[in-house]
Structure 1
Amino acid sequence: MSGLAQYELQQGDGGASVLALSGPYLVSTVGAVDAELRALEGPIAKVDLSGLSEIDTVGAWIACSLATEHEAEIVGASDRATRLISALDGTRGEEEIAAPRLPVWERVPAAMGEKVFGARRGVIGVIGFLGALIAATGTLIRHPRRFRWLALVRQLELVGVSALPIVGLMSFLIGIVIAQQGAVQLAQFGAETLTVNLVGRITLRELGVLMTAIMVAGRSGSAFAAQLGTMKLTEEVDAMRTIGIAPMEALVIPRILAAVLMMPLLGFYASGVAIIGGAVIGDVMLGIPFWTFLARIQDVVPIYDLWVGLIKAPVFGLIVALAGCYHGMQVEGNSEQVGLRTTMAVVSAIFAVIVIDAFFAVFFTEIGWG
């Protein structure tokens, strides 16, 4: 038993007990008696360390804790124990260790103020980014040979061609859902044939372009932010500046142009596939032949619905690309910023697209294209 930490309560003068510790009080041995020592009650006048064979910092901490808890005196300490106890003296405090927390009526306005101030910095940053983009565009107009056509073609492939499968599948399913749900509701009024009007107008005018913009934001906008952010983090952007290549001209403008050029094509493609999805449901559920459904689209959908979608598409592409490139170029510090900025790029792009779409809806209604 000599290799285990032990203790004994001895009767001292005046009825107070003396806690005698014995054996090795090391981190590897005190676990057997730690719980029992913490549970000791009653007045303890002294903590006797004369019986200790070995002691380390953990053992000294236990002795100090017992002495502090019972307001006891430490006696019989060896030179090593005395040095350890002296080093630990004053490290035990009773102060509140939790961080101070303001009441909710102060905390919420403070958080809102921080958000507003952060938005102010963000607005200034976006304005500066737009200024740099306009300056770089002006430089390319004056010196068209500096434009990187291969980079543009590559981005056109990534933003447009590579997105066709996922955009097509999403649009096809959306067309099916619109037609099925619309037919169920219109059947209550005996107007199932108006499903053609519903599918045609809502896909060409709104959902085709809007859902495509959201898909491009999640796919290409996040890719722009992650790519540029990683290049900033690995100092590739700084290296480009060092060798005389403008990052705006080489990295940002091709991506923005690709998004602006491909969004009208993707939006029109998405609307067409959604109409095909609606025609499939019309043939299966409503008894409207597939080709008759498609032919009816030309009769019931005014041509300005198509122009509404095509006008909104490049604006949405510009917003998505600007958000992705801006947040990507703001990455600095560590790799966590890449994920943070990528998330911010997608969220801000989708939010801005929906807000701008609402303004477009009001505008086109006011000019008679409602």
Structure 2
Amino acid sequence: MSKKLYHYFLSLFIMLYSGFAQAQHRINPDDIKEKMQWFADAKLGIFIHYGIYSVKGIDESWSFHNKKISYADYMSQLKGFTANQYKPNELANLIKESGARYAVMTTKHHDGVALWNSKYGPLNVVQKTPAKRDLLKPLYDALRQRGVKTGAYFSLIDWSHANYPGFLKDSSRYQVKDQPAKWVKYLTFMNGQLDELAKQYNPDLWWFDGDWEHSAEEWNAAGMRQKLLSYNPNTIINGRLQGYGDYDTPEQNFPVSRPAYKWWELCLTSNDNWGYQPQDKNFKTPYEIISIFTDAVSYGGNLLLDIGPKGDGSIPPEEVNLLKELGTWNKKNGEGVFNTIAGMPQGHYYGASTLSKDSTAVYLFVPAKTRRRY
């Protein structure tokens, strides 16, 4: 066994046995099954982590949170964020070519830097960077023109906002119960930005992050869900809203057994990091991605595969290659992937499989040596 192949199987073993946390669900699946059908059929989405952290190629937000870099040094990246090679039409073409049915764009990470011209404070790429333009609308428009559903990643936490309890610029913190008025101010700000996104871009899917820092009651998660559905009753919400989401979202770790909840999605990096980091060349091979993809589909789930554009907006060639190779495979084998349901339980076939919706056809995915004929 080659060293590279050994590392692949070792990493897969770690993924399988690292556990899979089941989210608490407060939503009756029978109430949402109609709107969830497109998601169940989609199977493949592309995650796009794009932000100022790509300028220096460092951890998105976490690099100053974990004190790898000072807050001031981190925010200095605003000056170098040009997006002058950000080409939404070409990116949408690549996503469409991959076979993906939806794409999720980071509208704002934990650092608080919005990728649209928010009226709730000037910390956005339109007002504070050389990019000077809304990066969301042209991509969402291009995706919709190609029949690809649109998703909006949004961080509930904002480590750059003075009223957020985890504000780290001066390492100050407060308990919500001790300063409720301050917390209300933050929620007003956060919900204002959500209103902007809902009104201006009307995403098909909301991909929240950061809910772990506060309870459902503190976030008013139930009210947030109700508000977003008032804008679009068919919008889908991921499982990171303290139980008020529509589907589970395991991160990096593949479930040991089929998840009990009906809808789920594995979000996975192309290499070891979400955003662009030039030193990270540990890209998964097309074979590895396809193997993980078919495993997820076999369990009745989706794969949300991440890419990280450079600071100028261009896509690393390794990620372009991954999406193109995935697209080539999907063109030939898509019948057994898209619009299918989970395959046979282990004991009948010890590999990935799917079934047609009417259960008249079974599709088996068999690993084989190939020269890119798939």
TM-score after normalising by structure 2: 0.19
State the structure with more CA Rg: 1
Higher strand share: 2
Higher-RCO chain (CA-CA 8 Å, sequence separation at least 6): 2
TM-score after normalising by structure 1: 0.19
